[in-house]
Amino acid sequence: GNSVTQMEGPVTLSEEAFLTINCTYTATGYPSLFWYVQYPGEGLQLLLKATKADDKGSNKGFEATYRKETTSFHLEKGSVQVSDSAVYFCALSDKQGNKLVFGAGTILRVKS
């Protein structure tokens, strides 16, 4: 079955540091890939998405590129802020509909 693997956290960075959160997936066919973010006490917010190989999703300084050859969708940001502290989830959706399969989530802590 489909699955998503994320790097374990927590990831602790200083403000303005470079962020990478690794995400790899296993799926048949060509899934759509997503990054969601969850702030404490809230639901999930869509951060970015990519629907085909080599697509780059970007939003609020975050970006991720759909790499079919390595089945990866790593999240990056050039300079993190304290306000980026949250839990980040990588997810995929296959052609069978709107069922999202999530990774375990990665806690990001940014200190000033």
Partner 1 sequence: KAGVTQTPRYLIKTRGQQVTLSCSPISGHRSVSWYQQTPGQGLQFLFEYFSETQRNKGNFPGRFSGRQFSNSRSEMNVSTLELGDSALYLCASSLGARHSYEQYFGPGTRLTVT
Q: How far is the CB of 108 from partner 1 (least distance, A)?
A: 16
Of 34, 35, 66, 88, the one binding partner 1 (CB under 8 A) is 34
Binding partner 1 by CB under 8 A: which of 40, 69, 97, 112? 97
Q: Rounded to the nearest whole angstrom, what is the least distance from the CB of residue 52 to partner 1 in the complex?
A: 9
Q: Is residue 36 part of the contact set for partner 1 (CB under 8 A)?
A: yes
Q: List the structure tokens of 20.
A: 């990478």
Q: Give how many residues touch partner 1 by CB under 8 A.
A: 25
Give the H/E segment covering residue 103: none
Give the Cα separation of 110 and 24 in Å (integer): 23
- The phi, psi pair for 105, rounded to 5°, reads 95, 145
- Neighbouring-strand partners of residue 109: 12
Q: Are 31 and 92 in contact (CB under 8 A)?
A: yes
Which residues in this chain contact partner 1 in the complex, by CB under 8 A?
31-32, 34, 36, 42-46, 49, 51, 89, 93-105
